[in-house]
Amino acid sequence: MTISNRLHFHDFQPALGDIKDDVLSGLQTEQKVIAPKYFYDAHGSKLFDRICRLPEYYLTRTEIGLLKQYGSEIAECIGSGATLFELGSGSSSKIRLLLDAVRPSIYVPMDISKEHLFGAASSLANDYDWLEIHAVCIDYSNSWQLPRSLQGNRRIAYFPGSSIGNLHDNEAHALLKRIAELVGVDGGLLIGVDLIKNVKLLEAAYNDRQQVTAAFNKNLLTRLNRELNADFRLERFEHQAFYNRDMNRIEMHLSSICSQFIQVAGQRFHFRAGETIHTENSYKYSIAGFHQLALRSGFAAVKVWVDRDNLFSIHYLESRR
Ligand code: AVJ
C-alpha cells in the first residue's frame, strides 16, 4: 500500500490463528511457555516504551548514549546511500539519532505491532522529507522475503535494544544467518547487545519499583483474555524476573498464586500453586561470546563500542564472502 511517494506500507501481520496455535501448544508443555513477541499488542508496545525510560532499565539509556557519542564513527561504518532495515523498529526513536549522520536512501522499519509501526513510520516521514520509507508489518522471527524493489543498494540491518537476547543460541544463530543473507556481500549489521554484569543490576532492571515491567508481563494475560477468549484473573498471577546464572539470561515468568483452572480458546488448563508460564528470556553476552556467535553466523566483527561502565555494547559486523 502506498501512502505517499515516500511512505509505503507492507502488511504481513501474523494471523490470529497463529497466536492461538502457538499459545495453546505452549500451555500444553511441561513448563508452560508463551513467546515474548506476544507482549507487543498496542498497549504492550506502550508499556515497553515506558520500560525504556525507567531509572532501573539501563539498557536503552546506555545504548542511546553510545549512539550519541559514537554516531559519526557508526555512520562511517555504514556509509551513505544504503538501504537500512530495522528489525523490531517499535517507535523508531533510536534511528532518529543516526539518520542525519548516516543519510540512508531507504529506511525499512519492520515490526510485529501494526498500529505502532504505522504511527512511527508516518511521523518519521513527516520529519525527514528526504527519506524513502517502506514500513513492513511482519514477525521477523519467521522467514521473510524482501520486496524486489529493495534489493538494489548496499544493505545494512539495524537490530538495536538487545532484542537478540530474546533468542536461544540456535535461534539467534539462525536469525543472524538470515540477516547475513538479507544484507549479502558487502552488507553490514549494526546490533545492540546487553552485557553480562552484576546480578543485582540485572535483576533490578526487570523488577522496577513502579512495577511497569510487571504490568508489561501481565498485559499478556489481558491480551489472551481479549483475543483468545481466555479467563485469566490478573490478581491470581504474579510477575517474576530473575537471573539464571547457568544460562546467562534473565527469565520472566507469570506465576500462579493458587491452584486454578483457566479457559483459553475453549480449552481448559490447570495451574498448580506456584506453577509458571515462562514468558521471556533475555540472554546476556560477553563481547567475546557475541563475536563467536557472529562469526559462526557468517559475519566478521569490524567494530564494537562499549560504555565506560561495561553495561552495553553496539557491534558493527560485516557479512563475510
Ligand atoms: C526488548 C527483549 C531487549 O529483554 O530487556 C524489557 C524486553 N522485557 N523488560 C529485554 C523487556 C522486560 C527487552 N528486549
- Domain positions in the chain: 7-14+51-198+284-319
Q: Is a pLDDT exceeding 80 seen at residue 206?
A: yes
280 Cα nearest atom in ligand 1: 8
How large is the angle between the packed helices 212-227 and 16-28, nearest 10 degrees?
Answer: 110
Residues 153, 156: Cα–Cα separation, whole Å: 9
Q: CB of 52 closer than 6 A to ligand 1?
A: no
The arrangement of secondary structure in 7-14+51-198+284-319, i.e. its CATH architecture, is: 3-Layer(aba) Sandwich (3.40)
For a mutational test of ligand 1's pocket, the pick from 280, 285, 311, i.e. the residue with the most ligand atoms closer than 8 A to its C-beta, is 280
Using pLDDT thresholds of 50, 70 and 90, give the confidence band for residue 147.
confident
**Quick one: which of 234, 201, 261, 223 has its CA closest to 58?**
201
Q: Which of 54-68, 109-123, 211-225, 243-257 has the lowest mean pLDDT?
A: 109-123
Smallest CA-to-CA distance from 228 within 23, 83, 4, 37 is with 23
Kindly state the percentage of the chain with pLDDT values over 90: 87
pLDDT 10s digits, 159-182: 999 999 999 999 999 999 999 999
Is the predicted pLDDT of residue 146 greater than 80, yes or no?
Answer: no
pLDDT at 283 over 90: yes
If you measure from the C-alpha of residue 202 to the centroid of ligand 1, how many angstroms do you get, rounded to a whole number? 11
d(CA 73, CA 77): 7
* Residue minimizing CA distance to atom 13 of ligand 1: 163
Instruction: Give, using CA atoms, the residue closest to atom 4 of ligand 1.
Output: 282
Cα–Cα distance, 285 to 154 (Å, whole number):
29
> What is the rounded distance in angstroms from the CA atom of residue 54 to the CA atom of residue 132?
33
- Cβ partners under 8 Å of residue 211, min gap 6: 239
Q: How far is the CA of 248 from the centre of ligand 1 (A)?
A: 14
Q: 3-class SS at 129?
A: coil
Predicted pLDDT at 178: 93
pLDDT of residue 246: 98
Q: Report DSSP letters for 132-178, one per residue.
A: EEEEEE--TTS-----GGGSSS-EEEEE-TTGGGGS-HHHHHHHHHH
- pLDDT-based confidence at residue 144 (cuts at 50, 70, 90): confident
Using the mean position of ligand 1's atoms as its centre, give its distance from the Cα of residue 264 in Å. 26
pLDDT above 90 (res 141): no
Any idea how long the chain is? 321
Is residue 305 within 8 A of residue 70, CB to CB? The reply is yes
- 214 CA distance to ligand 1 middle (Å): 12
Rounded to the nearest angstrom, the distance between the alpha carbon of 74 and the centre of ligand 1 is 24
| Per-residue confidence (pLDDT) for residue 152, from 0 to 100 | 75
99, 123 contact by CB (below 8 A): no
Residue in 279, 282, 283, 284 to alter for ligand 1 test, most ligand atoms within 8 A of Cβ: 282
What does the alpha-carbon distance between residue 7 and residue 132 come to, in Å, rounded to a whole number?
6
Judged against a pLDDT cut of 90, whether residue 2 lies above it is answered with no
The pLDDT value recorded for residue 143 is 76
Kindly state if the Cβ of 163 falls inside 6 Å of ligand 1. yes
Q: How far apart are CA 160 and CA 85, in angstroms?
A: 11
pLDDT given at position 168: 97
Question: Please, what's the b/e burial string for 3-33 (b: 16 or more CB within 10 A of its CB; e: otherwise)?
Answer: eeeebbbeeebbeeeebbebbeebbeeeebb
Calculate how far, in angstroms, residue 144's C-alpha sits from the geometric centre of ligand 1.
23
Minimum CA distance residue for ligand 1 atom 3: 163
What is the pLDDT at residue 263? 98
Residue 116's pLDDT band, with cuts at 50, 70 and 90, is confident
111 in ligand 1 pocket by Cβ < 6 Å? no
**Cα 282 to ligand 1 centre (Å):** 6
Please state the rounded mean pLDDT for residues 289-309: 98
Please compute the mean of the pLDDT values over residues 88-107 and round it to a whole number. 94
Q: Provide the percentage of residues in the chain whose pLDDT is more than 70.
A: 100
Binding site membership of 206 for ligand 1 (Cβ less than 6 Å): yes
Question: Which pLDDT score is estimated for 150?
Answer: 76
Whether 145 has a pLDDT exceeding 80, the answer reads no
Q: How many Å apart are CA 59 and CA 79, to the nearest integer?
A: 26
For ligand 1, whether the C-beta of 83 sits within 6 Å is: no
Select the more confidently predicted residue: 112 or 321. 112
State which ligand 1 atom lies nearest to the alpha carbon of 241: 12
Can you give the pLDDT at residue 115? 87
Mean of all residue pLDDT scores within the chain: 95
Q: How confident is the model at residue 222 (pLDDT cuts 50, 70, 90)?
A: very high
Residue 141 CB less than 6 A away from ligand 1: no
The predicted model gives 207-231 an average pLDDT of: 98
The per-residue pLDDT for 119 is 94
Among 57-71, 79-93, 210-224, the minimum mean pLDDT is found in: 79-93
What is the H or E stretch that residue 295 is in?
helix 287-296
Question: CA–CA distance from 148 to each of 82, 151, 152, 178, 318 (Å)?
Answer: 15, 5, 8, 17, 22
Residue nearest to atom 10 of ligand 1 (CA): 282
281 Cβ below 6 A of ligand 1: no
